[in-house]
Amino acid sequence: MSKLEIEDLRVSFASRSGPVPALRGVNISVDGGRLGIVGESGSGKSTMGRAIMGLLPPSAKVTARRFEFAGQDMLKASPAQKRAMRGRRIGMIMQDPRYALNPVTTVGAQIAECFRLHHGITGRAAKAKVLDLLAAVRINDPASVYDQYPHQVSGGMGQRVMIAIALAGEPELLIADEPTSALDASVRTSFLGLLDQIIKERGMSLILISHDLHLVSSFCDRVVVMYGGQVMEECTAADLANPHHAYTRALAACRPSLTERLPELRTFTRDPAWLEAKS
């Protein structure tokens, strides 16, 4: 299993008023299994996923004491080495298929392009691979979905297409950034069941990014809790039931309950010391 090892990762974005930090010294490692990254909006989760995928915009300044995947230094990798890694060894499922898929190209052609890019397979052989993959993500009628445009498929189906695209490179590590937030509750459950089966079948490692503490604790083995571009706490999913850090406790307490009626949703006050203590 290929190891991902990140130490002291810092990312800042250029702005007119100077660099804005998004990650401020993050450590994570993945060596098989499923890692959840959880935190509220703006805590730096997507920046983390994009940094690993090598997809940060040129305006991002990235430094790290260590940033390795499969023994390769990702910060020193050439653009060609990065391209060879992206999609091929590390796959990513984005939040919303409506924005991630190309609207003017059929679903089949988009997945076929991945086979060309990653494996040099084209023409009929590529089409056969795509149909197999659509069946593998439990799409009932692969031949008709192959010829559809993204706007013609439902949200749940679009998200299955996104998994198919991520799987085309046969990656060892899959990053899923809020993969269910564009789905309704019933579709969400079946999507997660599928993701679970596929990860098991293919023996991939997973990084699941979500704002949903409950989701990551039920789906992952280990969880990293982020706030303000820093890791507040890292623990096993089981330990999330008794969180150590005040931020994690506050996040858990904000989860709306199905049985308890509240006049308004709970929020919490952020303690400036949470950030100072770590930087």
- Residues of this chain that interact with ligand ADP (CB under 6 A) are 13, 20, 22, 39, 41-47, 57, 59
42 interface partner picked from ligand ADP, Mg ion, none, CB below 5 to 8 A per type: ligand ADP
How crowded is residue 242: how many other Cβ atoms within 10 Å of its Cβ?
10
Minimum CB separation of residue 94 from ligand ADP in Å reads 12
180 lies in the binding site for Mg ion (CB under 5 A): no
The smaller minimum CB distance to Mg ion, of residues 94 and 168, is found at 94
Map tokens 């260590």 to a residue: 66
Q: Which residues make Cβ contacts (< 8 Å) with residue 242, sequence separation at least 6? A: none
CA distance 51 to 9: 9
Residues that bind Mg ion (rule: CB under 5 A) add up to a total of: 2
Residue 46 near Mg ion by CB under 5 A: yes
Between 20 and 125, name the residue whose CB sits nearer to ligand ADP: 20
Q: Give me the residue label for tokens 């990293």.
A: 224
Contact partner at residue 243 from ligand ADP, Mg ion, none, CB < 5 to 8 Å by partner kind: none
Q: Which of ligand ADP, Mg ion, none binds 224 (CB below 5-8 Å, type-dependent)?
A: none
Considering CB distances under 5 to 8 angstroms, the limit depending on partner class, which of Mg ion, ligand ADP, none binds residue 57? Answer: ligand ADP
Are 33 and 221 within 8 A, CB to CB?
Answer: yes
Q: Where are the alpha helices (DSSP H) in 54-179?
A: 79-85, 97-100, 107-119, 123-136, 142-146, 155-168
Choose the binding region for Mg ion from 44-52, 61-69, 118-126, 134-142 (rule: CB under 5 A): 44-52
The H or E element containing residue 8 is strand 4-13
Q: Applying CB under 5 A, which residues contact Mg ion?
A: 45-46
